[in-house]
Structure 1
C-alpha cells in the first residue's frame, strides 16, 4: 500500500493535523480557542458548520438539561460503583457510558423517529391529531407499551419539560426553528392524555428530542448528544465517589441481603 493510499484510507473532513497546524473543520484551532462555546463547538465538529448564536443556545439548553439524574439512573450508579474499584476515572466513565443503551439513553433517538412519523403524515395532508393517533396506534401494535419521550417512572411532571419547550416556542416565534417537531410532540402528548385522569406528560427525552429534531440533527445523533450531556454528570459523580473512601461499592449496602429465589 502506498503512502497516498494510506492517507486516503484515513481521509477525513473533520480535522487536519500537521506539524504546527491543527484545523478543525477547516478552521485553525487558535481561532476557535476562547471564541466559541462548547455547544457551538459540538455543532461545528458534527455538522461541519457554525451554528447561529440562537441555535447554539438552544442546543446548549438541551445539553445542560440532561447532565444528571442522580444514582436513580443506572449510568450514574455504575459510575459511582466503578470509581470504587480502582479502575480510574476514564474506566469509571466508560463503564457508565456503556450502560446508555436502548432502554437507558436511547429514548431520545426513538422519540425523534416517532415525531418524524407524525410530521410526515401531517406533511402529506393528514390532520395533526389524526396523524398522532395513527402513529401511536402503529407503535402500540408493534408491542411498544411506553412511548419514548412521554411519562416518567419518577416524576409526575418532569421539571425539565416546561423550560425546554418554552425555549423552543420562543425559537419558533423568532424564526430560529420551524416548529414542526414541537407541534408533533404536543399532538402526541395531547393524544396520550385524552380521557385520562392521570396525565402522561412529555419527559426530558421528549423535550430534548424536540430540540435536536428542530435543529436538524438526525435521530441517531439525539442519542450521541445525550451521551455527551450525561457524561458531565457521570464525571461529577465518579469524581465525588473517589473522595468518599469506599472500596468495592456494590449496588446495595452490605447489611442488605438479596432475596434468595432458589
Structure 2
C-alpha cells in the first residue's frame, strides 16, 4: 500500500489547505485560493488583483484554437463532459498554452536577452512569448497585463527582460508582438513562481472556457463531420 505524504492539504473535519483551515479558504476569492494552493502562501492585495487579471485573460479565445476544437469534437462524438474537457486539455502543447512554461524558464535563466535570441535564431526555433497568428501590432491581453503590473508596482526585472528579448529579436530579424504568454511569463516570474507551473496556470485559466464550449456543443447534432479532401495517388 502506498503511503502518500503531502504538505498541500488534508481531509476530514479539520481539513486544511497549505495550513489554512478549509473553512477560511472557502471565504477567499477563487483566484486567491488558487494562489495559496499552488504557491503555498496568500497573495498581497496587489498580487491578487494581478493574478485575477492573468487568469481571466486566458479564460477563452474563440472557437478556432486547438483546445476548443478538440473539446467540441470529442463532445460531438457522444462523450461526457469530463471526457470532452479532458480532450481539450490534452491538446495543449508547445504551440498552444505550453509556451508559458518555456518562456518562464528562459526568463528565469542567467542568459541575457541577446544570448537567448542568438541561441534560438541559431537553432531555427521560435522564441516563446513573442509572435501571434492573430495579432500583428499588439496583443491587447498582454498590454492589459503589463499595464496593470506596472500600475501595481509589480513589474520587475523579468518584465524588462521580456521586453528586451522582443527588441533584440526585432533588431536581428523581424518585429513581432509580445503575446499574452510572454506577458504572463514575465509577470509570474517577477512574482517568483516556479516555471514548471506555467502550463498549469494556463490549464486552470482555460478550463472554464472549455466547459462552456462543451456545454454549448451538447445542444448541437452529434458527430460533427468536417469536409476533407483526399490528395493521395
Q: The TM-score by the shorter chain falls in which range?
A: over 0.9
Q: For residue 103 of structure 1, report the CA deviation from its aligned partner.
A: 2.4
Aligned-residue offset at 1:195: 7.1
Q: Deviation at 1:116? A: 2.2
Partners of 1:220 and 1:48 lie apart in 2 by 15
| Paired position in structure 2 for 1:261 | 232
**Unaligned ranges ≥5, structure 2:** none
Q: Distance in 2 between matches of 1:42 and 1:214?
A: 18
Alignment of 1:120-135 (within 5 A): 120-121=110-111, 131-135=112-116
1:171 and 1:180 map into 2 onto residues whose CA distance is 15
Show the counterpart of 2:118: 137
What is the CA deviation profile of residues 190-240 of structure 1, one whole-angstrom value per residue up to 9, with x for unaligned ones? 1122277x6301001111111211111111101110111111111111111
Alpha-carbon distance in 2 for matches of 1:199, 1:137 = 15
How does the TM-score come out when normalised to structure 2?
0.92
Whose radius of gyration is greater, 1 or 2?
1
The alignment's C-alpha RMSD in Å is 1.8
Kindly indicate whether the alpha-carbon contact (under 8 Å) linking 2:58 and 2:202 is maintained by their aligned counterparts in 1: yes
1:62–1:211 Cα contact (<8 Å) kept: no
Partner of 2:7: 13
TM-score, L = length of structure 1: 0.83
Answering whether residue 141 of structure 2 is matched by residue 148 of structure 1, we say no
- Structure 1 residues 191, 15: closer, same or farther in 2, change over 3 A? same
Is the contact made by 2:167 and 2:175 (CA closer than 8 Å) also made in structure 1?
no
Match of 2:91 among 99, 102, 114: 99
Alignment: residue pair count: 232
Residues 136-184 of structure 1: CA deviation (Å, up to 9, x unaligned): 001222331x211101112212221211110121233xxxx36010100
Regions of 4+ moved over 6 Å:
none
